[in-house]
Amino acid sequence: MVYNEPEYLPIWMGYYGSQVGASNCFLVDHGSEDGSTSLPYGANTVTLPRSPQDEVRRVQIMSDYCKSLLKHYQVVIYTDVDEILVPNPTKFSGLEAFCKTMTADTVTAVGLNVHHMVGLEAAFDRALSVLEQRCWVRFVSPMCKPLVTRVPTKWGRGFHSCDRPLNLGDIFLFHLRYYDLTVGLTRLSRTRALARKTESDVRSAQHQRMADDAFLGLMQTVSAMDKVAPEVLSSESEPVRSWLKKAATSDSGEMLAQVRMDVFANTLWKIPAIFRGIF
């Protein structure tokens, strides 16, 4: 579900279109005005009238829409436009291969923020792929989202949780919010200006409303963190396994598939070379 995303949508469509075919990609356009959803991507586009941001309604709309798609598809994946799901490439040739081996009804990905090393890495070049230019990620539990499902699923706010049991898979969610300083600041100028329906929507969107200097400070702080270079990235090996263990939790409420929202790795991990060029 998108609104005015000229920087992220080409990356999203380029990756998912290559994985499953553009005709199996679905965009729900929440009233874009910049022409970003009008490019000839070959995806299916549903256009909704623009309205104030309402997170409860957003997840209800997409939960219902994905339920309808499951009448035609064996597996449905939902992601935001800045989220790229990549199965462990040492085990799977891509998303289709991963989905064909699924035994759980719903799978939760390992959440990784892709970070621009400010002062060390150049500004993003759209002529090259993201992982040709960005080498470092940080494990963040809020991005461990249950986004791959074989059954109708009711998601909670932000798609961080759902009404299915927690099943962590060997699949990574690369979150691109921090992949480039200039892009991040440009997008912040848009998201700060968004009308939001309730005070709860305002509070839950503080990360989308932060000041430019705060965003820059965050990028600089993360860039200075200690760094390690694991030989592999897998949910079954270190350092991923230990951080997943810290993040995993059980819950007796309605939303079952979730992890703790407050677990952030204190080091950056270098992305193994096998991932380079995937998106």
The predicted-structure confidence for 101-160, as pLDDT tens digits, reads as follows: 999 999 999 999 999 999 999 999 999 999 999 999 999 999 999 999 999 999 999 999
Residue 250 confidence class, pLDDT cut points 50, 70, 90: low
Asked whether the predicted pLDDT for residue 185 surpasses 90, the reply is yes
Whole-number pLDDT of residue 253: 62
CA distance 262 to 277: 30
The string of DSSP letters for 49-99 reads: ----B-HHHHHHHHHHHHHHHTTT-S-EE---TTEEEEE-TTT-SSHHHHH
- Which residue, chain included where needed, has tokens 């874009």? 32
The string of DSSP letters for 196-237 reads: BSSHHHHHHTGGGS--HHHHHHHHHHHHTSEEE--S---TTS
Whole-number pLDDT of residue 160: 96
Whole-number pLDDT of residue 258: 87
Q: Which residues contact 220 (CB under 8 A, 6 or more apart)?
A: 118, 119
Residue 254, classed as helix, strand or coil, is: coil
Average pLDDT of the chain, as a whole number: 95
Percent of the chain residues past pLDDT 90, beyond the cut? 89
Whole-number pLDDT of residue 194: 87
Residue 39 confidence class, pLDDT cut points 50, 70, 90: confident
Beta bridge mates, 139: 112
Asked whether the predicted pLDDT for residue 252 surpasses 60, the reply is no
Whole-number pLDDT of residue 249: 74
Whole-number pLDDT of residue 33: 94
CA distance 84 to 100: 19
Which two tokens mark 12? 């999203």
Q: Measured on CA atoms in the order 224, 225, 228, 229, is the torsion positive or negative?
A: negative
Quick one: how many helices (H) and strands (E) in the chain? 8, 10
**Cβ count near 3 (within 10 Å):** 20
Angle (CA) 267-273-278 rounded to 5° is 105
Whole-number pLDDT of residue 79: 98
Sorted by where each begins, the domain ranges of the chain are: 80-275
Angle (CA) 101-103-108 rounded to 5° is 95
Whole-number pLDDT of residue 255: 73
Whole-number pLDDT of residue 251: 59
Whole-number pLDDT of residue 209: 87
Which two tokens mark 5? 């995303």
Residue 254 confidence class, pLDDT cut points 50, 70, 90: low
